[in-house]
Each structure stands twice: as structure tokens, then as C-alpha cells.
Chain A
């Protein structure tokens, strides 16, 4: 007895819907073209122009019927759009293969966006606040530093171990919180971040305030740090890192999307939205929170390990509360639970201040005000997470595109 009204066809909509994949290809390519230019742009006027263009595009997608239709098509063909996006990201890396700085930016955005996927799993899906994101990121880097220095295990395994160490530490940290409700996770994670940073600073084993050097990543004897050419092409040594980072992002993206779409995702949603109701239905609040915290931190730690190996060093400074707030601002700006939103927000927060020297000094102030405005006036972020919409499964005519 589905009385869900079939959408009334309007003229432009019909035409767009006839070639959905074409629409997706065009839109995603355009967005990535813009993003690539943004990462590469050098003059401040270009950056401001691109920023204005992006604002116009978002306003268009948000406010007009055609724009909403296009967004709906893109989210209906989500898997396809993501595949195109992966190709787009790799195409950007290939285009700028000789530019150190552009590739560094690209890899940084990809790694921070990966960390934000982990943070999103914790906060947006399971409702566990983590004010120590940067601390876990740095733990991943330190794990990589220790392992590359003192152990001879394959570097690909180091990324995995970095994730595991971070994940397990996170669970140990969360254990005391599980008996509590409310704001205690916030306190415990903040306290942990401060504790870790002070510990790393006063401790000589991990290099004190100077931090540690990290050997560069090498895969089957192919050292990323020494790469200068790839076949006949001259490339920057950041190119393999950029590709690796994009790969890691794609992996984390797929993993967490799978989790979200599975029964685990439903359980997490239930736990977040109403703990009492969820426990009435027999869900173990503690178990689901621990699971989300574990996987989320493992992702953050893996991203941190790659980031550390790319930079070649790690210092305690990265573990501060300010850095953790930066990560949280990215996911709030991007829209809780929206991974592509986090990419856009990561570009806004990481790349634009690098390009606009004028605001360097004021960047923290501007972020803080920006996040405040978002929280007050558009609490769901730039690109909100779409609500779980199950109506198409109940209606007989609904199209299950996936």
C-alpha cells in the first residue's frame, strides 16, 4: 500500500535523468577540475576566483530544482560517482606529476580526509566524541617511526600495525568511559591528548620535543623517497605518496561505506540516536561504541603512519588540542557523516590558508568563526549526510539503483 507519490516529472529533470551516468561524469569531472586547480593555483586572485566559483556551485546545487535533481542523480549513482572521483583524483596526481608542492598538498588532503572518515565513523555514526583525533594520528606516525628504525618488517605492514596500535590504544582509553554517559568521553579524550603531548615532549625515548625521524616508505624494494622517474617520465617523489594516500582514502571510504550500509551501520545509528531505546532492543551500547572507536582510530592511525613516512619526521606538536579541533572542524564543516564533504572541507581548511598568505596569521580565528557560524546557522554542514531513506525499498516502483 505504498502511497508514496511518484515524483511529478518536470521538463529539465526528464532530460537529465535520461543520461544519469553522463551527468555524473560531467559533474564529478568539473568538481575535480576545480579542486585540482585549487590545489595547484598560485596567485591569490585565482584562489579567490575558484573559491567564489565553488560557492556559486554549492548555492546552485542547494537552492535550485535542477541543482537538487543533479545532486539526487549523483547520490543515486553513488558507486559510479565514487569510481569517477577516484579516476579524477588519480588524473590530478598524474597531471601534476612533477610538482612537489601540489602533490604534497594533494596527499595531505587525502590523508586528512582519510582520518576524518575514521572520525566520522566515531562521531557521526556511533556518537562517540573524540577530541584526540590528532593525538591518534600522531600515534600512527610514531609507530611508523619506531618500526622503521628498529624493525625490519615490510612497510605496507607498518601501516597496518600503525592502525592496530592506534586502535587498541583507543579502546583502552575508551574502557573507563563505557560505564558513563554524557560528556565524559569528551573529557577523557581531551585529557588523553594533553597527556600524550606532554609525555612525548618530556620523554627522551621518543626524541622529546624534536620528535623522531621516519624512514621513507618503500614497497618491494621501491623506495618512495628516492623516486625521481617512472619509466620515461620525470616525477616528483611525492607522486607515489599521493597515489598511496588516494588509495588509502579509497580503501577507508569503501570500508566505512560498507559498514554504514550494513546491519552494523543500522545498529550504530540506533545507538547514537537513542541509547535507551537501543538497549531496550537488545543492542549492547558499549560493544558498538568500542567497535566504532576501534575501527575509526585504526583508520586515523594508518593515515598518520603514511603521513609520517611522507614527511620524514614527527613531533609532539601535532598531537595538540588545536590540531584535534582542526580535524573536528573539517568534519563539522563538511557535514557530519559525509565523506566527500570532508574532502571539500579539508581543502578549505588545509589548502586555502597556504595559498592566501594574507590570512595565515588569522587562520585559527577564521576557522573558529567559520565553525561557529556553521553550527549556528547550518548545523548539518556544507554537505549534510542524507538521512537513511528506506522508502524506495517499500515502494514497488522504487528504483533500487545499487
Chain B
């Protein structure tokens, strides 16, 4: 195979990987602070994409259209709406249900995702159909030999990587991160040492959801098209990445995200006749991997508390 095409595929895999990682980090954060899986996370990605689209349209209509300004407005709106959705789900559903059986929480968050998705489908004009996402990033390409990537893709990749890194810094270096880690380790003790439990939990929800919403905008910018049901698959991919990488750490979901994207890209490269099989193979790989690594690649260190 041509080296240039290989490099291009690797680049595509990295692009997808960073988006998956951003979604997966959220799962890991929520699991850390509350030991719950929030399955509406994928639909928060959709909320982000649609708020971004709305804000871009609004900015284009109100002020003189400048792509950079519109993009900033779109991203700000996406992050705001995403965090809001995260906080609402956390406050109204997850906090009241946190002592309920795990199945109830799973079902409740899945249903919350359905509510978000259906609200978008019914609330957005013509919401059932795919929506074009405006191209706001510079459109040039970098080409050497048979390897060519769009400048927009490079920008998306860099933005994603720096955001994941920023999250890492936030968790490890700031006071908020310290409280998140404290709550994740032991909620009761953290509360006894004067940490506002609810605020930390909701803050974590806002943080994870903001990342997901940002990822939604990045997907819109990359594929130039969004639709109301895009979150279902993304949410599951994000969750699968987090589980495969290991829910207990922040590095796990990032590795998992890149791994998942890697498998998908590999399938596309190796089975050129039908890229439709990429999800089939990726999910089959997930099912097999769980058999081999029951607690993820980076194993969770915890003992049974009876």
C-alpha cells in the first residue's frame, strides 16, 4: 500500500479517535464521582451540535458574518447548552436515583437521552432530516505526495488534543480537580472534609457534558452534516471506549477512544468493499475484548466493599 494513503488513514483514525476520546472522558468522569453510567451522554453530543448550528445561524443573521466570530459563538453556545443539559440530568435524575438499583439509573438516563433526541427532532424545524453544518474553518489542504489533509481537519485534531490535555490539567492541577478526585475516591469522606458534594458532582457533569457538546460541534465541522440521531451510536462508542480503556482512570478512555477509532479505520482499509462493516467489526472487537480484559485495559484498583 502507498505510504501516503496509509498516513492519511492514520490521520483519519487520529481525528476520529480524539472525538471518541472526548466523549469517553465524560463517561469516566461520571463513573468516577457517582459510580453511575450516564447513557444520555451521546445525545448531549447532539445537543451540542444543534446548539452550535443554531448559534452560528443566529450570529450570521444578526451581525456581519465572519467565520471566526460565528464559530466562537457556536462553540460557546454548544458548551453552554451541553453543560446545562448535563447539570439538569445530574440534578433531576441522577442525584435522586443514585441509591436506586443500577438498572433504574441506566434506564432513566437512556430515557433522558430519548427525551433530548425527540425534543430536537420535534422542536427543530424539519428536525427529522439531516442538517448541513456550515464550513467555518479555512478550507485549504496540506499535501505531500499522495498524502493530503485539510487544514480544517488539522485544526480539529489540535483543538481536540489540547482540550483533552486541558481536562487532564484541570483534574490534576486545580482545586476543582482535587475535589473531583476526592469525591471519586470516597464521597463520604470528601463530604466530611467539607467538600460540597452536590456541587462537585454537578460540576463534573457540566465538565463532561461540555466536552461532549464540543465534540458534537467538531463532528459537525468535520462531516459538514448533523442529524438528530447521531448521538446514539456516538454515545455507545464513547461508553465502549471508556469501558475498554478502563473506567477507573482518565487515561483509559483516551486510549480506548483511539483504539476504537483504530479498529474502525483498519477495517475500512482492509475491507475496502464495504465500510459498512466497520461498526460490526468494532463492536465485535469490543465484545471479545471485554472477555479478555473484564475491567478494561487499565484495570480499576479497588477491592470488594461488602
Chain A interface residues (CB < 8 Å from chain B)? 123, 127, 129, 173, 175-177, 179-180, 182-184, 186-188, 190-192, 194-195, 198-199, 201-202, 276, 321-322, 325, 328-329, 332, 361-362, 364-365, 367-369, 371-372, 375-376, 379
| Interchain CB contact under 8 A, B290 and A184 | yes
Q: Give the contacts of B1-38 with A (CB-CB under 8 A).
A: 37
Closest to A186 in B: B106
> Interface SS of chain A: helix, strand, loop or mixed?
helix
- B244 → A minimal CB distance (Å): 9
Q: Is B233 on the interface with A (CB-CB < 8 A)? A: yes
| Interchain CB contact under 8 A, B96 and A372 | no
In the bound assembly, the distance between CA atoms of A175 and B240 in angstroms comes to 17
| Interchain CB contact under 8 A, B100 and A186 | no
| Interchain CB contact under 8 A, B110 and A325 | yes
Measured between beta carbons, the chain A residues less than 8 angstroms from B103 are 123, 127, 129
CB-contact partner of B283 in A180, A192, A325, under 8 A? A192
| Interchain CB contact under 8 A, A187 and B286 | yes
| Interchain CB contact under 8 A, A198 and B286 | no
CB-contact partner of A198 in B111, B115, B279, under 8 A? B279
| Interchain CB contact under 8 A, B118 and A194 | no
Q: Is B306 on the interface with A (CB-CB < 8 A)? A: yes
Given known contacts A191-B283, A195-B279, A376-B96, A177 and B290 CB-to-CB distance under 8 angstroms? yes
Q: Give the contacts of B214-228 with A (CB-CB under 8 A).
A: none
In the bound assembly, the distance between CA atoms of A276 and B303 in angstroms comes to 13
Given known contacts A182-B102, A187-B240, A187-B290, A361 and B96 CB-to-CB distance under 8 angstroms? no
Measured between beta carbons, the chain B residues less than 8 angstroms from A364 are 114, 118
In the bound assembly, the distance between CA atoms of A325 and B243 in angstroms comes to 21
In the bound assembly, the distance between CA atoms of A325 and B103 in angstroms comes to 12
Measured between beta carbons, the chain B residues less than 8 angstroms from A194 are 233, 236, 279, 283
In the bound assembly, the distance between CA atoms of A129 and B103 in angstroms comes to 7
In the bound assembly, the distance between CA atoms of A127 and B101 in angstroms comes to 10
Measured between beta carbons, the chain A residues less than 8 angstroms from B106 are 129, 183, 186
Measured between beta carbons, the chain B residues less than 8 angstroms from A376 are 93, 96-97, 108
How big is chain B's contact interface, by range? 35 or more
- A206 → B minimal CB distance (Å): 13
Measured between beta carbons, the chain A residues less than 8 angstroms from B111 are 325, 329, 367-369, 371-372, 375
| Interchain CB contact under 8 A, A365 and B107 | no
In the bound assembly, the distance between CA atoms of A332 and B105 in angstroms comes to 12
| Interchain CB contact under 8 A, B108 and A186 | no
| Interchain CB contact under 8 A, A276 and B306 | yes
Given known contacts A328-B107, A379-B100, A173 and B287 CB-to-CB distance under 8 angstroms? yes
Q: Is B167 on the interface with A (CB-CB < 8 A)? A: no
A-B contact pairs, 23 of them (CB 8 A): A183-B106, A184-B243, A187-B286, A188-B290, A191-B287, A194-B233, A194-B279, A198-B276, A198-B280, A201-B276, A276-B304, A322-B114, A329-B107, A362-B118, A364-B114, A364-B118, A365-B122, A367-B114, A371-B111, A372-B93, A375-B104, A376-B93, A376-B108
Q: A187-B290, A325-B111, A364-B114 are in contact. List 5 more A-B contacts (CB 8 A).
A: A191-B286, A195-B284, A202-B274, A329-B107, A372-B112
Chain B interface residues (CB < 8 Å from chain A)? 37, 93, 96-97, 100, 102-104, 106-108, 110-112, 114-115, 118-119, 122, 232-233, 236, 239-240, 243, 274, 276-277, 279-280, 283-284, 286-288, 290-291, 294-295, 304, 306
Most buried by A among B102, B119, B291: B291
| Interchain CB contact under 8 A, B115 and A191 | no
| Interchain CB contact under 8 A, A365 and B287 | no
CB-contact partner of A365 in B119, B232, B233, under 8 A? B119
| Interchain CB contact under 8 A, A186 and B114 | no
In the bound assembly, the distance between CA atoms of A321 and B93 in angstroms comes to 21
In the bound assembly, the distance between CA atoms of A192 and B93 in angstroms comes to 27
| Interchain CB contact under 8 A, A179 and B232 | no
Closest to A175 in B: B291
| Interchain CB contact under 8 A, A186 and B97 | no
| Interchain CB contact under 8 A, B37 and A186 | yes
CB-contact partner of A195 in B112, B119, B283, under 8 A? B283
In the bound assembly, the distance between CA atoms of A202 and B280 in angstroms comes to 10
Measured between beta carbons, the chain A residues less than 8 angstroms from B114 are 322, 325, 364-365, 367-368
In the bound assembly, the distance between CA atoms of A30 and B201 in angstroms comes to 50
Measured between beta carbons, the chain A residues less than 8 angstroms from B274 are 202
Measured between beta carbons, the chain A residues less than 8 angstroms from B102 are 182-183
Closest 8 CB pairs of A and B: A176-B291, A368-B114, A365-B118, A202-B276, A180-B294, A191-B283, A195-B283, A368-B111
In the bound assembly, the distance between CA atoms of A25 and B286 in angstroms comes to 52
Closest to A320 in B: B232
| Interchain CB contact under 8 A, A369 and B290 | no
| Interchain CB contact under 8 A, A180 and B280 | no
Measured between beta carbons, the chain A residues less than 8 angstroms from B286 are 187-188, 191
| Interchain CB contact under 8 A, B279 and A369 | no
Measured between beta carbons, the chain A residues less than 8 angstroms from B291 are 175-176, 179
Most buried by A among B107, B240, B284, B288: B107
| Interchain CB contact under 8 A, B288 and A191 | no
Given known contacts A192-B283, A195-B283, A372 and B276 CB-to-CB distance under 8 angstroms? no
| Interchain CB contact under 8 A, B280 and A199 | yes
In the bound assembly, the distance between CA atoms of A180 and B102 in angstroms comes to 15
Measured between beta carbons, the chain B residues less than 8 angstroms from A129 are 103, 106
CB-contact partner of B107 in A127, A180, A188, A332, under 8 A? A332
- A10 → B minimal CB distance (Å): 35
Measured between beta carbons, the chain A residues less than 8 angstroms from B304 are 276
| Interchain CB contact under 8 A, B108 and A361 | no
| Interchain CB contact under 8 A, A190 and B236 | yes
In the bound assembly, the distance between CA atoms of A202 and B278 in angstroms comes to 11
In the bound assembly, the distance between CA atoms of A316 and B102 in angstroms comes to 29
- B302 → A minimal CB distance (Å): 11
| Interchain CB contact under 8 A, B276 and A179 | no
Given known contacts A184-B290, A368-B115, A191 and B236 CB-to-CB distance under 8 angstroms? yes
| Interchain CB contact under 8 A, B37 and A180 | no
| Interchain CB contact under 8 A, B240 and A191 | yes
Measured between beta carbons, the chain A residues less than 8 angstroms from B295 are 180
Measured between beta carbons, the chain A residues less than 8 angstroms from B112 are 368, 372
| Interchain CB contact under 8 A, A187 and B104 | no
